[in-house]
Amino acid sequence: MKTQNRSHRLFAQVSLGEIIGADDPIEYGCVNSKRCYFVIIDRNGYPALAIEYQGSGHYSAKADERDAVKRAALENAGVPVVEVLEHYVWQEVEDDIEAALALREAA
């Protein structure tokens, strides 16, 4: 990735309940039971970006439902998501991540 003056950290298999809160216990339970493939946090420890891999075994009704819950929770929390498809091109993924982080920093 391009070297920026950033202090981001990458974490794998992060429970959404660790990075997103919810006032309602039922909502929190729903969010807490979901995981992101990767989460990038900023220098203050706040989630800056979620990265989700959509591999070949990922497309099912249950996966779609889980992804919808994850997307909604992340969107409500203001955390952008980069989705990586099965036959990805690394340069495109890198560009998407860089663009999402730049937008987040500009906000």
Q: How far apart are CA 41 and CA 50, in angstroms?
A: 9
Q: DSSP assignment, residue 84?
A: E
Which of 25, 41, 44 has its CA nearest to residue 33? 25
pTM for this prediction: 0.84
**pLDDT tens for each residue of the chain, 107 residues long:** 554 556 899 999 999 999 988 888 888 888 888 899 999 999 999 999 999 998 776 667 777 888 888 899 999 999 999 999 988 999 999 999 999 999 888 87
